[in-house]
């Protein structure tokens, strides 16, 4: 009996988590996340660089799922991601909430193999501030 032909469902989806750690007290005092933002991802072994900086370079390929989340450096400070500003031809992040909680995250799938250097910005809600604070230095996705 001949083997069944393999179905090509496109590239496999690799989940890559990007975590933003924000010093909320510092960001609220200065009005910026510059110097108060530390970015990490789970793809260091895959070639990501700049871990722990505002200019994280996350190595990706088409089909990868990217999950953005945020943590406050201070345990009692409020922080949330209000949006991810990125080229929609590359990735269109959407806000989701973990079932049974009010904990939000943002998720998107890389749409193309042609990712050279795609900068993005993160909009943060911090404390009781009415307007979001947008990251100034741009992390990026790289292929």
pLDDT at 81: 97
pLDDT at 114: 74
For the segment 84-127, what is each residue's pLDDT rounded down to a tens digit? 999 999 999 999 999 999 889 999 999 998 778 999 999 999 99
Q: Is residue 3 part of a domain?
A: no
The whole-angstrom separation of Cα 84 and Cα 141 is 12
Q: Which residue has the tokens 């993160």?
A: 122
For the segment 60-86, what is each residue's pLDDT rounded down to a tens digit? 999 999 999 999 999 889 999 999 999
Q: Is residue 134 part of a domain?
A: yes
Over pLDDT 70: what percentage of the chain?
Answer: 91
Q: Which residue has the tokens 């994280």?
A: 56
User: Which strands make up the sheet holding 65-72, listed edge to edge?
Assistant: 37-41, 15-22, 65-72, 104-109, 94-97
Strand 133-134 and strand 140-142: pairing? unpaired
CATH at 63? 2.60.40.3910
Q: Domain count of the chain?
A: 1
**Which residues form the domain of 60?**
15-142
pLDDT at 5: 43
């Amino acid at each position: 009996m001949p083997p069944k032909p393999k179905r090509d469902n496109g590239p496999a989806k690799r989940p890559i988590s990007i975590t933003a750690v924000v010093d909320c007290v510092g960001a609220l005092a200065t009005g910026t996340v510059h110097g108060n933002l530390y970015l990490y991802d789970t793809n260091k072994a895959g070639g990501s660089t700049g871990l722990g900086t505002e200019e994280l370079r996350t190595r990706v390929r088409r089909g990868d799922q990217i999950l953005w989340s945020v943590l406050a450096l201070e345990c009692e400070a409020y922080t949330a991601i209000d949006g991810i500003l990125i080229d929609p031809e590359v990735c269109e992040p959407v806000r989701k909430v973990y079932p049974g909680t009010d904990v939000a995250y943002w998720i998107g799938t890389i749409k193309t193999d042609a990712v050279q250097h795609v900068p993005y910005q993160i909009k943060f809600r911090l404390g009781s501030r009415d307007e979001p604070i947008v990251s100034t230095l741009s992390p990026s996705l790289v292929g």
